Amino acid sequence: MRAPYLRCAACGESLPATSRRADCRCGGLLDVVHEPREAGATLRARFDRRRRNGDPTVQGSGVWRFRELLLPGRGPVLTHPEGNTPLYRRDAIARWVGHDDLALKHEGENPTGSFKDRGMTVAVTQAVRAGATAVACASTGNTSASMAAYAAQAGLAALVFVPAGKVAAGKLAQALAYGARTLLVKGDFDTCLRLVREASETLGLALLNSINPWRLEGQKTIVWELLQQRGWEPPDWIVVPAGNLGNTSAFGKALREARELGLVRRVPRVVSVQAAGASPFFRSFRGGFQRRYRVRAQTVATAIRIGDPASHDRAVRAIRETGGLVTAVTDVEILEAKAVVDAAGIGCEPASAAAVAGTRRLVRDGTIHPGDSVVAVLTGHVLKDPGVVMDFHARRGRHRNPPTTVAARLSEVEKVLKRGG
């Protein structure tokens, strides 16, 4: 079969890239197989040229810049555009983490406010090329926001399954605003995913969750873009929050391909950070990945409130191949990390802050050494979850910044300023 094509990680069956299936008939997950004929130096030079010149054929997209390693071939490309996210360095955050060489790649600065746009531009493009007319996903919020936006751009019908009462306001608002048919399912994310898998199978909807291999192809570009921003000099560590494990898997594939192609000579260690109340992957890691766990998930970081991650096997491979590791942080640590990132003027949603809290934990226990370079990925924008911000600052304690209600008189304002807030 001509590359790129799809291969089942479980039974080895191959399918053409134009297949409408999101997973294999045997229930296994599909991987996209590329057979690029060019070497690393040629590709690197081309990617750098496209970045410098803005790559007008794809509106300067930081995803499609890498198109020969994602979804090559003719046909329309549905780009917003997305990607080109910054690498931030802030002293206040480095101080709190206790580590100097820390950069934050802010994927919350994508068009719909999360890294999902990188996967969605590729998956929606492939779905359109494969003739889909309707798309569907289960989501803790960001996937649905992103899918709704790209479906609107493509003129596709969109059906979204979210756990009722467990989706942050900003995300739900986006799905509605972009015109997706939105189902508030009485159940958690894991239930939503089961339901949407059944529904897409029976109703012929293209499934755009991260089990869809094209999503991971797009999300690989988070890693390639950060390598490119660093002049193809890999950091020692890449730290990422983990829920359904799509991103961890995509990072593993990106690094495997980067090494095979000679884009880089060594690969960073990937760290997946889970919320302690939703940490089946961490549990599995502690047991040497002998077993897969399913848990009832609970955490303030609703984006990663997932108890049965779909991409478990792929993520195990990513951690093993990069010599990486998995850790877990409490909701208290997540909220404190978020307050520090927010107060530095950057901001992120709670799940993203897990990456910063996880980095701090690994610095404190001596896993990350003082001279190591670290890139932590902020996955979502601060405005995604205004509810958590308002609750946090309404209480008293460290890092809190509650608002003050005043009568509309200058003397009142002066009184507040003298009191010190």
Q: How many chain residues touch ligand F0G (CB under 6 A)?
A: 23
Residue 292 near residue 285, CB atoms below 8 Å: no
Enter the tokens of residue 156. 């596709």
Q: Establish if 140 lies at the interface with ligand F0G (CB under 6 A).
A: yes
Q: Tell the smallest beta-carbon distance from residue 50 to ligand F0G (Å).
A: 26
- Over the window 142 to 181, marking each residue x when it contacts ligand F0G by CB under 6 A and - when it does not, the resulting string is xx--------------------------------------
4 vs 163 by CB, closer to ligand F0G: 163
Residue 271 near residue 340, CB atoms below 8 Å: no
Q: How far apart are CA 214 and CA 1, in angstroms?
A: 18
Taken in order 358, 359, 363, 369, is the CA torsion positive or negative?
A: positive
Q: Tell the smallest beta-carbon distance from residue 159 to ligand F0G (Å).
A: 14
96 vs 115 by CB, closer to ligand F0G: 115
- DSSP, res 23: B
Q: Establish if 218 lies at the interface with ligand F0G (CB under 6 A).
A: no
Determine the length of the chain: 421
Enter the tokens of residue 396. 């008293």
141 vs 277 by CB, closer to ligand F0G: 141
Binding segment for ligand F0G among 227-235, 241-249, 363-371, 410-418 (CB under 6 A)?
A: 241-249
Q: How far apart are CA 89 and CA 60, in angstroms?
A: 24
Single out the residue of 31, 55, 336, 349 in contact with ligand F0G (rule: CB under 6 A): 349
Q: Which of residues 275-334 bind ligand F0G (CB under 6 A)?
A: 303-304
Q: Which of residues 197-216 bind ligand F0G (CB under 6 A)?
A: 210
Between vectors from CA 239 to CA 234 and to CA 242, what angle results, nearest 5°? 140
Single out the residue of 206, 207, 222, 351 in contact with ligand F0G (rule: CB under 6 A): 351
> Peptide bond preceding 81: is omega within 30 degrees of 0, i.e. cis?
yes
Q: Establish if 247 lies at the interface with ligand F0G (CB under 6 A).
A: yes
Q: Could you tell me which residues come within 8 angstroms of residue 50 by beta carbon, excluding any fewer than 6 positions away? A: 65
Q: Which of residues 357-396 bind ligand F0G (CB under 6 A)?
A: 379-380
Q: How far apart are CA 68 and CA 221, in angstroms?
A: 12
Positions touching ligand F0G (CB under 6 A) are: 114, 116, 139-143, 210, 241-248, 303-304, 349, 351-352, 379-380
